[in-house]
Amino acid sequence: MNSAGFRLLILGVAVLFVAASKGPGAPPVNAQTTTPSFDCARTDSEIETLVCSDERLAGLDAMMAETFTAAVAALDGAADQEEATNRLKAEQRGWIKGRNDCWKATDRQACVWDSYERRIAFLEARYFLADASDPVFYECENDPANEIVATFVSGSLPSVRLERGDAVEIGVLSPSASGSRYEGTFGIVFWTKGDEALVEWPQGNSFSCVVRQQ
């Protein structure tokens, strides 16, 4: 089993343990690590203080740091390595700022937990850090030239990597009454039901796609 698979196995065991011991709705615990990646003596936000005081969030922060390091390593040898690494680091700083905005939430713990989970899943899908399916080719609006290539990723949260032309977007599985609904940034939605998918790309631009028969 590779390191990513082991990490996911540990997280899955922790989820089942806490769900059984605390009941529905209780956030899971990372049983391996309860120390965050930053110095708790030098926190500069309410949310960092919360992470330091909650072993569940501290464990997720450690997992985030490990996942981010793996994402940076995945860029090693890329033609645009320096540019791509700088872009990834800038995005991570933006994510941290968004995580810290959870101080505005009614349930800060749940907000921070969701922020970590979704960011980890995003990095796993974007940089192929978890097991993934073979690419699935979708033809959109009955136009063979209008294609989305979807790769479904079995990471810490189920996610999908979407390639459309030169664009690459990541969607993370979100609750839905039917099918599998993946949500990405800027309102992007990829909602699969059997061989069909309803897509919003970008937000407000809706169309349908179907799996191309090979």
CATH number at residue 147: 2.40.128.200
pLDDT average, residue stretch 125-136: 96
For the chain, the distance separating the N- and C-terminal CA atoms, rounded to the nearest angstrom, is 32
On the question of pLDDT at 90 being above 60, the answer is: yes
Q: How many domains does the chain have?
A: 2
Among 140, 128, 213, CA closest to 170: 128
Are both 44 and 140 inside the same structural domain? Answer: no
Out of 91, 126, 161, a domain closes at 126
Out of 74, 93, 126, a domain closes at 126
Are both 8 and 103 inside the same structural domain? Answer: yes
Are both 59 and 105 inside the same structural domain? Answer: yes
Looking at residue 29, its pLDDT comes to 42
Are both 100 and 175 inside the same structural domain? Answer: no
Are both 156 and 58 inside the same structural domain? Answer: no
Give the three-class secondary structure for 202. coil
Are both 139 and 99 inside the same structural domain? Answer: no
Out of 73, 108, 126, a domain closes at 126
* Alpha-carbon separation of residue 94 from 27, 90, 100, 198, 206 (angstroms): 24, 6, 10, 29, 28
Tokens of 126: 């974007």
Are both 81 and 139 inside the same structural domain? Answer: no
Backbone angles phi, psi at 210, to 5 degrees: -140, 145
Considering the chain, what percentage of its residues have pLDDT values greater than 90? 79
Instruction: Round the average pLDDT of the chain to a whole number and report it.
Output: 87
On the question of pLDDT at 113 being above 70, the answer is: yes
* Reported confidence tier of residue 34, pLDDT bands at 50, 70, 90: confident
| Whole-angstrom Cα Rg for the chain | 18
pLDDT average, residue stretch 107-135: 96
Q: What is the pLDDT of residues 155-187, one digit of tens each?
A: 999 999 999 999 999 999 999 999 999 999 889
Are both 105 and 170 inside the same structural domain? Answer: no
pLDDT average, residue stretch 20-28: 37
Are both 51 and 102 inside the same structural domain? Answer: yes
Interacting residues of 150 by C-beta distance below 8 A, sequence separation 6+: 135, 136, 138, 160, 161, 162, 163, 190, 197
Are both 106 and 138 inside the same structural domain? Answer: no
Are both 72 and 47 inside the same structural domain? Answer: yes
Provide the residue range defining the domain that includes 99: 3-126
Q: CA 148 to CA 142: how far, in whole Å? A: 12
Q: Give the CB-side neighbour count of residue 129, counting CA atoms within 13 A.
A: 29
Looking at residue 203, its pLDDT comes to 74
Tokens of 16: 């089942």
Looking at residue 32, its pLDDT comes to 53
On the question of pLDDT at 33 being above 90, the answer is: no
* Reported confidence tier of residue 109, pLDDT bands at 50, 70, 90: very high
Are both 101 and 203 inside the same structural domain? Answer: no
Looking at residue 214, its pLDDT comes to 72
